Chains A and B, each alone.
Chain A
Amino acid sequence: MLRATALSLGKALVVAEMVGGKVSPATLAAITAASKVGPVTVLVAGASAKSEAQVLAKVKSVQNVLAVEAAQYSHGLPEEYAPLIDAVVRANSYTHVLAGTSAFGKNVIPRAAAKQCCMPIPEVTEIKDERTFVRQTYAGNAITTVKSSDKIMYCTLRGTAFPRAEVEGGSAEVVDFAATPAVGKAKFVADQISTSDKPDLATAATVISGGRGMKNGDNFKLLEELATPLRAAVGATRAVVDAGYVPNEMQVGQTGKTVAPNFYLACGISGAIQHVAGMKDSKVIAVVNTDPEAPFFQIADYGIVEDLFKVVPELTKRVKEAAGK
């Protein structure tokens, strides 16, 4: 239980990540987590921070929004963000600085922590109390509860471990905060974003992943065909990303994305520790593999020892039939 007494109450700052004018799902999860330690202030920075602040002000359980409108923050460069976060922390003495576990959060939060010489606590999956956090180590093979003695706790929160705060129903006060001087030691050059109208892998309710058993990149179309009627996202293992079948942002695992959908369908994936670390919190796991000894069968709710090139088209057919009824 949280010790929600006046004395121990924390004061939380959430560093927001906005994607196309919307609050990122990871930030919404971080807001839920932050509301457990105390009143929540959200920091938003960038060229369009003022309009983004209005979006954040409506998010439930946000009390204050600090808007910093300045172009140097637009691409999430940690060299610019860390001094800003530190200025905000010094001005308002927060006890917790939180962000979602994303490439942005993982990049920025530890650098901000360095400014106060604090030890960051990455990928938190549970907040026991203001100082006690649960996180996974050894590719998810150990669950570690740690207690921080730092004056400020800098954490990233695993988006799959906390419910997302509702984007409506809040009415936070928006306050402008002064930009810190531009540092300029790092320069943004370009984004190489894979455009996709498909559901986001990290937040999809259903994920269909392919491994080495897919044999080539073209065969991923089979998974896409099943994914479309299910509104599912398609993921992959490191092996197929390395082989160049699919782009890296599709990688699920210890060093790729962590997903915890309602349903995870693994096709032609053996189930190595590093892959399983990224999806074992899925509610229902089904595995299609020709190898009956594949380790994946040990954690699957449903398994079938069969060729995926037979199973997947058949499932697609059945799903389409069911949808047509």
Chain B
Amino acid sequence: MFRTLPNYLKVAVCVKRVVDYTVKVRVKDNKVQTANSKMSVNPFDEIAMEEAIQLKEKKMADEVVAITIGSKKAEEVLRTAMALGCDKAMHVVVPEAAEESLESLAVARILQKLHEEIKPDIWVLGKQAVDGDFGCTAQLLAGLLDVPQGTFASKVEVTNQKITVTREVDAGRQVVELSMPCVLAADLRLNTPRFPKLPNIMKARKKPIDTKDVAAFGVDITPRLTTETVTEPAARKAGIKLKTVDEFYDKLHEAKVL
């Protein structure tokens, strides 16, 4: 309704609050201990936000909506999103007890419902969240919406209602052309995310956030995968430090690896 410039695109970007990637988590009582860990924006989502904001700066997009699904505390990632330049923020609030077991499928189904409301031309997600390492929300969303997907994207170009995406694949790169609407999943080398500026952080504090309760979506968020056990990986036994290159070679030779 408010989109007076017909060629401009609307971008929705999804952001997750995760344990900071530098934290080495501990496993205790059959659970990953996250209670007092430093939390941050999932690094791939920072890249997704940067791409969305760059599309706006290149005058390709005229509106960027940031979305998070999580407990009340997840609001802080939306403040970051707005400080970076996202225009609107939407928070789907999930009870704290259900947050940890919230699965990609439930997230994708909530986003599918939001698609009807927001009607974005492009969805940008990170390629994986560094906590669960599932890496499948973008694909699930694209599948549910039955729209094309540009996963592991390292370059995105928008021209004439088409998007050309360079994807990082096993043997190099693959270039595909997608029609819109579509779902993109940002890989590491898509861009270098900017830092929010202090005045913008202050301004972002006052911006409104559209808050919705997850119950309003009618999506069953009961996990399909129940966690039976969580353990620490087997520790490697301490190795030895060698003093000279000769010793180093001899030991490796003895171990039959050189």
22 A-B residue contacts at CB 8 Å? A103-B167, A113-B105, A114-B108, A120-B104, A137-B32, A142-B32, A144-B230, A185-B147, A185-B178, A187-B176, A188-B176, A193-B173, A285-B236, A297-B239, A297-B241, A299-B236, A299-B239, A302-B252, A303-B240, A304-B241, A304-B245, A318-B253
Contact call B140/A189, Cβ cutoff below 8 A: no
B161 at interface, CB cutoff 8 A? no
- Nearest B-chain residue to A205, judged by Cβ: B257
Give Cα A241 to B245, complex, Å: 28
Interface residues of A in 135-191 (CB under 8 A from B): 135-150, 185-191
Q: How far does the Cβ of A309 sit from chain B's closest Cβ, in whole Å?
A: 12
Are A79 and B148 in touch, CB under 8 angstroms? yes
The 4 A-B pairs of least Cβ separation, nearest first, read A114-B143, A110-B136, A110-B139, A263-B257
**A158 and B249 alpha carbons, distance in the complex (Å):** 32
Taking a contact as CB atoms closer than 8 A, the residue among B44, B139, B164, B169 that contacts A189 in the complex is B164
| In the assembled complex, A310 has its CB within 8 A of some CB on chain B | yes
Would you list which residues of chain B between 56 and 107 have a CB under 8 Å from chain A?
103-105
- What band does the interface of chain A fall in when counting residues whose beta carbon is under 8 Å from B? 35 or more
Instruction: Name 10 extra pairs, CB < 8 A, besides A190-B175, A318-B249.
Output: A19-B171, A106-B152, A111-B143, A112-B143, A119-B224, A121-B225, A142-B233, A249-B170, A255-B128, A318-B253
Tell me, in angstroms, the Cα distance from A34 to B74 when the chains sit together. 39
Whether, in the assembled complex, B194 has its beta carbon less than 8 Å from a beta carbon of chain A, the answer is: no
Interchain CB contact under 8 A, B148 and A185: yes
How many inter-chain residue pairs (CB < 8 Å) link A and B? 265
- Indicate if A284 sits at the interface (CB-CB under 8 A): yes
Return the chain A residue nearest B174 by Cβ. Answer: A191
- Partner pick for B133 among A77, A120, A254, CB 8 A cutoff: A254
The answer to whether B189 touches A106, judged by C-beta atoms less than 8 angstroms apart, is no
Interface of chain A, main secondary structure: mixed
Q: Which of A136, A187, A288, A314 has the most CB of B within 10 A?
A: A187
Q: How far is the CB of B99 from chain A (nearest CB, A)?
A: 15
Given A79-B148, A111-B142, A192-B173, A119-B230 contact (CB < 8 Å): no
Contact A141 B232 (CB under 8 A): yes
By secondary structure, the B interface counts as mixed
**Is B248's CB under 8 angstroms from A286's CB?**
yes
Query: Are A103 and B168 interface neighbours, CB within 8 A?
Result: yes
Given known A79-B149, A318-B249, contact A191–B142 (CB-CB < 8 A) = no
| Assembled-state Cα–Cα distance A186/B148 (Å) | 6
- Asked if B200 is an interface residue, CB under 8 A from chain A, the answer is no
The chain A residue with its CB closest to the CB of B141 is A114
- 1/0 contact string of A241-256 vs chain B (CB within 8 Å): 1100001110000110
Residue B255 is within 8 A (CB to CB) of chain A in the complex = yes
Is B131 on the interface with A (CB-CB < 8 A)?
yes
B179 interface residue per 8 A CB criterion: yes
Question: Complex Cα distance A199/B133, Å?
Answer: 27
CB-based nearest B residue for A238: B188
CA distance A103 to B139 in the complex (A): 12
Q: Please give me the residue from chain A that is nearest to B242 by CB atom.
A: A304
Closest to A105 in B: B170
Which residues of chain A are near B109, meaning CB under 8 Å?
A: 117
Residues in B116-137 with C-beta less than 8 Å from chain A: 127-128, 130-136
Interface residue B199 (Cβ < 8 Å from any Cβ of A):
no
CB of B159, distance to nearest CB on chain A (Å): 12
Contact of B21 with A by CB under 8 A: yes
Confirm or deny: B204 has a beta carbon within 8 angstroms of a beta carbon on chain A. no
B171, A111: Cβ atoms under 8 Å?
A: no
Q: How far is the CB of A319 from chain B (nearest CB, A)?
A: 6
Q: Name B27's contact: one of A117, A142, A242, A310 (CB within 8 Å).
A: A142
B140–A107 touching, CB < 8 Å: no
A111 touches B139 (CB 8 A): yes
**Chain A residues with CB below 8 A from B236, complex form:** 280, 285, 299, 301
A30 to B133, CA, bound (A): 19
